[in-house]
Amino acid sequence: MVTTAIIVITLAGVLALFLFGNWEERVVGGMVLALLVLVRVMEPFQIGTWRAGIAALEVVFLIAILWLTCVRDRWWLTALTGFQLISVLTHVVPLLASGRHFVWTAVTIRLEVWLLICITFFAGAWEAWAARRFAREGGFHAQDKHRSRLVDLDAVQRP
């Protein structure tokens, strides 16, 4: 039941990224869809209680969105990267804990962090929509690289 709800929320967030996002939102949406499939493929790769395959997959996703965060000026990508870093760090818990008691704690934290990640999908879709609307209305926006070169910043700052 919980897994189904999380998948539905994830797919709704990805759909919002595809419908309202720019290329960077769509890239993240594509990566998330790939994650949904690859998680099933990587699940069998375990070392004791440590899910090495899933951990590797999450690290690759973190590196990809970290790169995207550095390339694009999107605040939602920064939040997404932070939440993903928390998720990656939870994979260290089984390596540090001697018993299985903390394994479920890490899994629970990952599920909760994934819901935060899904919220950032909706925030990203909204940000892309708002940036387009702001640009349409003639506003100055730092993400609009071509427009920012043409706008006289002194004229914008004068009363």
pLDDT in tens, 73-116: 889 999 999 999 999 998 888 777 766 666 677 778 888 999 99
Range of the domain at 66: 2-157
Question: For position 143, what pLDDT does the model report?
Answer: 54
Q: What is the mean pLDDT of residues 114-131?
A: 94
Question: For position 89, what pLDDT does the model report?
Answer: 92
For residue 10, is pLDDT > 70? yes
Q: What is the pTM of this model?
A: 0.80
CB atoms within 10 A of CB 110: 20
112 closest CA partner among 140, 141, 90: 90
- Top-confidence residue, 94 or 142: 94
6 Cβ neighbours under 8 A, 6+ residues apart: 111, 114, 115, 118
In the chain, how many domains are there?
Answer: 1
21 conformational bin, left if phi > 0, alpha if psi -120 to 50, beta if neither: beta
d(CA 86, CA 19): 28
